[in-house]
Amino acid sequence: MMLYDHISSNKRKSILLIVLFFVIIGILGYALGAYIGNVFIGLSFAIILSVIMTLVSFYSGDKMILSMSHAIIADKKKYPHLVNSVEGLAIAAGIPTPKIYVIDDSAINAFATGRDPEHAAVTVTTGAIQRLKRDELEAVIAHEMAHIRNYDIRMMMLVVVLVGVVALLSDLFLRSFIYGKRKDDIKGGTIVIVVVLIGIVLAILTPLIAQLIKLSISRKREFLADADGALLYRNPKSLANALKAIRDDKEPLVEAANKATAHLFIENPLRNFKGKVNGLFSTHPDINERIRILEKM
Amino acid sequence: MILALWIIIGIAVVIVLYIVFTFNRLISLRNRVDNAWSQIDVQLKRRYELIPNLIATVKGYMKHEKGVLTEVTKMRANLVSGSMSEKAKASDAISNAFKTIFAVAEDYPKLQASENFKMLQEELSGTESKIAYARQFYNDNVMALNNGIQQFPSSVIAGILNFKEREFFKTEESEKKSVKVEF
């Protein structure tokens, strides 16, 4: 089954990505250590920092994201169709029913988070519940369910944290270099100097590279979740129509969204109406492109 | 001579490993099918429980459509007892009957406005789509299992270990259209 293959490829990629990030973080820590004169301290600081941050986000990242987004548990009496749709699509996806949350916001949007299908949450805005047709809402939930089943939620959470660690370390390194006193007497031979120089280059470039990696993964995941969501719901037109409604939303800004959570949503919640910043730095692929692909299915 | 022996041992190990791997894969495919089937059963049972409630609510309004209600009552028992194909048939017949009932209900604003009816309608349509989803999941898993049993070389092992193909939960019209995904 190609779907199960896809999931294991995603798990493999997660591991590869984490290794890549740990190598970057290791080099940064080494350079920081070489600069302050003790490689061991620098390296262990970097590793401990990233391990702690990864563990914290792994086990409580979803709760932080949900509370940051002002999401509240959806009441079945109040939103019967939402709850029924999530329960139904969980059956179709073969995963346990995720927790269901609602954000009180008139913009149409939705996201999924968690560390695995057993610890996952689906969140939709009240705008989506009120303004999307029933089949469109269900298609949006199918898209989110695909994110959960494919372990995209875990992948994105880890990527975000590791991007954060890289940014933090780079910043620390550059600051201590710029404001530090020991510019002239770095102990050790040419190797240490070379490492420190590499560290400087890395410190300047890696936050940018890490960010680009994150964004490119995020965009790719959206296309995949569209396709898998369409497979689950067996009706790509409904998702295309939902995306059109989202595209034509006059007030797309989700008040409680921010830069740290924007990539989670089905479409960028921070965009301005008509304002287009697609390309290398966008969290989401061009929505018209997504609609076009869905309509061709 | 020694080399030939090692080669034979090597091949034997690979074959044994392959058999173990295939056996485990078939077992997990079969468990998935069983699990998927129980999901359908849960939803059919839920629907079975909701039907008396619906009939009690709409009976007063359906003077001219008594036949539909009798049909639903008759088919209801088959949802929880009976063979898979009987269940599938009963489920589809009831889905069709519901369409009629809800269409007729639109002529009665008082019924439409009743909270109880609204809740029932939401609950029944939710159950209906869950049955469809469970069926979809079940049939996908049956296909994966049947492929494993039919395709060579796992078919040989399935044959020796007596794995049986499963039946699709199928009916004529109500299958949802399948979707072609391509990039």
pLDDT of residue A272: 60
- The residue among A58, A161, A71, A54 whose CA lies nearest residue A119 is A58
Query: Measured between CB atoms, which of A83, A293, A297 is closest to B179?
Result: A297
A262 min Cα distance to partner chain B (Å): 25
Q: What is the ipTM of this complex?
A: 0.76
Query: CA B30, CA B13: separation in Å to the nearest integer?
Result: 26
Question: By CB neighbour count within 10 A (0-12 exposed, 13-18 middle, 19+ buried), where does A11 fall?
Answer: middle
Distance from CA of B25 to the nearest CA of A (A): 12
> What is the SS3 assignment for A117?
coil
Residue B57's domain comprises 31-160
A7 touches A151 (CB < 8 A): yes
Assess if residue B15 is contained within a domain.
no
Residue B118 lies in a domain: yes
Contact B182 A93 (CB under 8 A): no
- Which positions in chain A have a beta carbon within 8 angstroms of at least one beta carbon in chain B? 1, 80-81, 83-85, 87-89, 91-94, 138, 223, 227, 230-231, 234-236, 293, 296-297
With respect to residue B111, please indicate whether it lies within any of the assigned structural domains: yes
Task: Please report the pLDDT score of residue A32 as a whole number.
Answer: 80
> β-strands A119-125, A99-103: how paired?
parallel
Q: What is the pLDDT of residue B161?
A: 81
**Lowest-confidence range among A37-51, B61-75, B125-139?**
B61-75
**Domains contained in chain B, number:** 1
Contact B134 A89 (CB under 8 A): no
More confident residue, A276 or B161: B161
| Chain B partners within 8 Å of A231 (Cβ) | 179, 181
Q: Specify the amino acid at residue A168.
A: L
Q: Considering the domain boundaries, does residue B168 fall inside one?
A: no
Report whether A114 contacts A153 (CB < 8 A). Answer: yes
Is the residue at B25 inside a domain?
Answer: no
Categorize the per-residue pLDDT at B171 as very low, low, confident or very high, splitting at 50, 70 and 90: low
Q: Which two tokens stand for residue A203?
A: 């410190």
Q: Are strands A119-125 and A71-73 parallel, antiparallel or unpaired?
A: unpaired
Mean pLDDT along residues B167-173:
70
Domain for residue B148, yes or no?
yes
Q: Which residue of B has its CA nearest to A91?
A: B134
Return the pLDDT at B176: 46
Percentage with pLDDT > 70 across chain B? 93
pLDDT surpassing 80 at residue B38: yes
**One pLDDT digit (tens) per residue for chain A, 297 residues:** 455 566 667 677 777 877 887 888 888 888 888 777 788 888 888 888 888 888 888 888 888 889 988 999 999 889 999 999 999 999 999 899 999 999 999 999 999 999 899 999 999 999 999 999 999 999 999 999 999 998 888 888 888 788 888 888 888 877 877 776 555 555 556 766 777 777 788 778 877 877 777 787 788 888 888 888 888 888 889 999 999 998 888 888 888 887 778 888 888 888 765 445 555 667 788 888 889 888 887
Residue B81 burial by CB count (10 A; 0-12/13-18/19+): exposed, middle or buried? exposed
State residue B174's pLDDT score.
45
A-B C-beta contacts closer than 8 Å:
64
Reply yes or no on whether A255 is catalytic: no
Is a pLDDT exceeding 80 seen at residue B26? yes
Chain B residues 5-44 with a CB less than 8 Å from chain A: 32, 35-36, 39, 43
Delineate the domains of chain A, giving CATH numbers in brackets. 2-62+155-205 (no CATH), 66-153+217-296 (3.30.2010.10)
The per-residue pLDDT for A129 is 94
Distance (Å) from the alpha carbon of B32 to chain A's nearest alpha carbon: 9
Give the model's pLDDT for residue A185.
55
Closest in A80, A91, A231 to B134, CB measured = A91
User: In chain A, what residues touch B129 (CB-CB under 8 Å)?
Assistant: 84-85, 88, 138
CA angle A170, A172, A175 (to 5 degrees): 105
Interface touch A297/B39, C-beta < 8 Å = no
Asked if residue B23 belongs to a domain, the reply is no
Strand, coil or helix: A124: strand
Sort out which chain B residues have CB atoms less than 8 A from A87's CB and list them: 126, 130
Pick the residue of A91, A95, A97, A145 with the most B CBs within 10 A to test the interface with B by mutation. A91
B115: contact with A, CB 8 A cutoff: no
A interface mutation test: which of B129, B135, B175 has the most A CBs within 10 A? B129
Let me know: does A21 contact A162? Beta carbons within 8 Å. yes
Cβ–Cβ contact B84 with A under 8 A: no
pLDDT at A278: 52
Please report the pLDDT score of residue B50 as a whole number.
87
Identify the residue among B122, B123, B133 best suited for mutation to test binding to A, counting A beta carbons within 10 A and taking the highest: B133
- Is B173 a member of any domain? no
Residue A89: what pLDDT? Answer: 93
Q: What does the pLDDT look like over A177-209, one tens digit per residue?
A: 777 655 555 555 676 677 777 778 877 887 787
pTM (predicted TM-score): 0.80
Domain CATH number, residue B80: 1.20.1440.20
CA distances from A145 to A121, A268, B36 (A): 9, 18, 17
* B125's tokens: 């349509």
Which one is catalytic: A136, A138, A144, A222? A144
Contacts of B75 (CB under 8 A, 6+ apart): B90, B93, B94, B97
